[in-house]
């Protein structure tokens, strides 16, 4: 989740048109399209596999400080607490931030190829391992915390999370689980024009259940199997109906930047950032903010930064900012952290592949897509779709993605193109089992029901 940094005040929003123009400014020519990969992981004590609080002699604060001092990151402070790290030099750039329960997130730099994403991810994990080993800390990539209860999970000292923690339970039963006990990998994708954005958003929304099934990796809750392939995906079904879900309007004629602005204006706000503090306005209307009619800030008008903040508090399956965020996958192991960008780059960044993906999904109804979204958390690749299994659809999707990556022809130093990064997904379909299936087999077999083994065998 984004971290606000104090700086010069951005321009006051003078009209609704400025909100549309903000999104439209994300349009880029194909030669400037980039790949931004974000991935989260749980931090644990290697001695007893317990969660790591912010303030302790081996806590999250010390972890961030150690990464800062050893590897040249710049710190981001909030009320004197180090809450994020930033670094500008690519391919080692991007930012490290904290999710509400101490999940450590790398928001990667905008990169040209999945090969560069692999190098960025490898270096980040190596840095975290080096510092973590000295502190007795490990990290784990799963979609849901496998052992710790909500009460056991620490709370990070970020003001926006305090506001969200209060408001979330008023809108859904599982919002706090989403905040404190889930972890994801997502990829951010560029678009050339409004029409290109619409095409990519429609493919992204339609195929998000396929990505969820391929990356399903959260079969445990409170130390035991929970009956789901992706419990993380199930949690999103009962978090906040105002700001999550499929975005049916995206499939309607006339979908545009303006239509997304209208949607975003109707999603209740969480906060406004002023004078280095977050002001709780949860439930208030951004439309009222445009008129200076917020009860907490009478007469105050929003800035472009306020709009950018508000967009980060929307959580649909595909989120539009000045790029598109593909948000359906559970966090996973190192290989799958690169497989997700490879999948979406293959589908969306090659014209022929995008045409094929659109053709594949053109006659899918909203009811069918919603049914997939509802069934995939429990059934994964076994979910039914038109008298066959979702695994069969996933094979078609991977074939399109492989063709797209071949068409891009971005080679690494060994002369291999980006298709190599889809191998984990091909293995998943070849074996007929998801990451969740593999973990469940380990739990029922070699681990003999001991969930602690997951920290020993699956840590980065």
Q: What is the pLDDT of residue 40?
A: 98
SS3 368: helix
**For the chain, what is the total number of helices (H) and then of strands (E)?**
17, 19
What's the rounded Cα separation, in Å, for the pair 76 and 86?
7
Rounded Cα distance between 279 and 258, Å, is: 27
CB 203 within 8 A of CB 33: no
Domain ranges of the chain: 16-267+314-457
> Alpha-carbon distance 260 to 244, whole Å?
14
Output the CA–CA distances (angstroms, integers) from residue 150 to 56, 316, 425, in the order listed.
20, 24, 31
Q: How far apart, in Å, are the Cα atoms of 51 and each of 60, 138, 155? A: 10, 10, 11
**Quick one: tokens of 167?**
């408001």
How many Å apart are CA 290 and CA 354, to the nearest integer?
Answer: 37
Digit-by-digit pLDDT tens for the chain (460 residues) are: 555 555 567 999 989 999 999 999 999 999 999 999 999 999 999 999 999 999 999 999 999 999 999 999 999 999 999 999 998 875 567 899 999 999 999 999 999 999 999 999 999 999 999 999 999 999 999 999 999 999 999 999 999 999 999 999 999 999 999 999 999 999 999 999 999 999 999 999 999 999 999 999 999 999 999 999 999 999 999 999 999 999 999 999 999 999 999 999 999 999 999 999 999 999 999 999 999 999 999 999 999 999 999 999 999 999 999 999 999 999 999 999 999 999 999 999 999 999 999 999 999 999 999 999 999 999 999 999 999 999 999 999 999 999 999 999 999 999 999 999 999 999 999 999 999 999 999 999 999 999 999 999 999 9
CA distances from 80 to 76, 131, 140, 164, 440 (A): 9, 22, 28, 21, 43
Distance CA(47)–CA(37), nearest Å, equals 31
Rounded Cα distance, 83 and 157, in Å: 8
Fold of 16-267+314-457: Creatine Kinase; Chain A, domain 2 (3.30.590)
Q: What is the pTM of this model?
A: 0.96
**What is the rounded CA–CA span in Å between residue 4 and residue 83?**
10
Residue 292: which region, alpha, beta or left (left: phi > 0; alpha: psi -120 to 50)? left
Cβ atoms of 342 and 146 within 8 Å: the answer is: no
Q: Report pLDDT for 164.
A: 97
């Amino acid at each position: 989740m984004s971290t606000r940094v104090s700086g010069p005040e951005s321009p006051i929003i003078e009209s609704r048109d400025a909100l549309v123009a903000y999104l439209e400014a994300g349009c880029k020519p194909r030669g400037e399209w980039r790949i931004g990969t974000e991935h989260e992981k749980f931090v644990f004590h290697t001695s007893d596999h317990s969660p790591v609080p912010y303030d302790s002699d081996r806590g999250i604060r010390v972890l961030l400080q150690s990464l800062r001092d050893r590897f040249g990151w710049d710190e981001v402070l909030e009320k004197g607490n180090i809450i994020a790290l930033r670094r500008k030099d690519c391919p080692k750039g991007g930012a490290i931030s904290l999710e509400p329960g101490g999940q450590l997130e790398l928001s990667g730099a905008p990169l040209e190829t999945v090969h560069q994403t692999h190098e960025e991810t490898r270096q980040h994990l190596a840095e975290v391992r080096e510092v973590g080993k000295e502190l007795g800390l490990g990290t784990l990539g799963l979609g849901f915390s496998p052992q710790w209860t909500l009460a056991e999970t620490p709370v990070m000292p970020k003001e926006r999370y305090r506001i969200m923690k209060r408001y979330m339970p008023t809108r859904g039963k599982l919002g706090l689980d989403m905040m404190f006990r889930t972890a994801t990998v997502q990829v951010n994708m560029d678009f050339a024009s409004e029409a290109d954005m619409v095409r990519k958003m429609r493919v992204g929304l339609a195929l998000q259940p396929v990505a969820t099934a391929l990356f399903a990796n959260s079969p445990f809750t409170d130390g035991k199997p929970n009956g789901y392939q992706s419990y993380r995906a199930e949690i999103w079904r009962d978090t906040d109906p105002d700001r999550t879900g499929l975005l049916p309007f995206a499939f309607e004629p006339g979908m545009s930047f303006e239509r997304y602005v209208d949607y975003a204006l109707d999603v209740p706000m969480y906060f406004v950032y002023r004078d280095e503090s977050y002001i709780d306005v949860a439930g208030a209307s951004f439309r009222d903010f445009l008129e200076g009619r917020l009860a907490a800030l009478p007469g105050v008008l929003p800035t472009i930064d306020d709009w950018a903040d508000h967009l980060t508090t929307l959580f649909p399956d595909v989120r539009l900012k000045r790029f598109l965020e593909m948000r359906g996958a559970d966090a996973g192991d190192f290989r799958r952290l690169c497989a997700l960008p490879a999948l979406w780059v293959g589908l969306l960044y090659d014209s022929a592949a995008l045409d094929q993906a659109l053709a594949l999904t053109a006659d899918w109804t909203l009811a069918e897509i919603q049914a997939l979204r509802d069934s995939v958390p429990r059934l994964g690749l076994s979910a039914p779709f038109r008298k066959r299994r979702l695994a069969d659809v996933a094979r078609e999707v991977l074939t399109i993605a492989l063709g797209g990556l071949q068409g891009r022809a971005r080679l690494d130093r060994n002369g291999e193109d980006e298709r190599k990064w889809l191998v984990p997904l091909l293995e998943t379909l070849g074996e007929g089992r998801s990451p969740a299936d593999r973990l469940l087999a380990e739990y029922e077999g070699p681990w003999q029901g001991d969930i602690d083994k997951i920290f020993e065998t699956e840590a980065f």
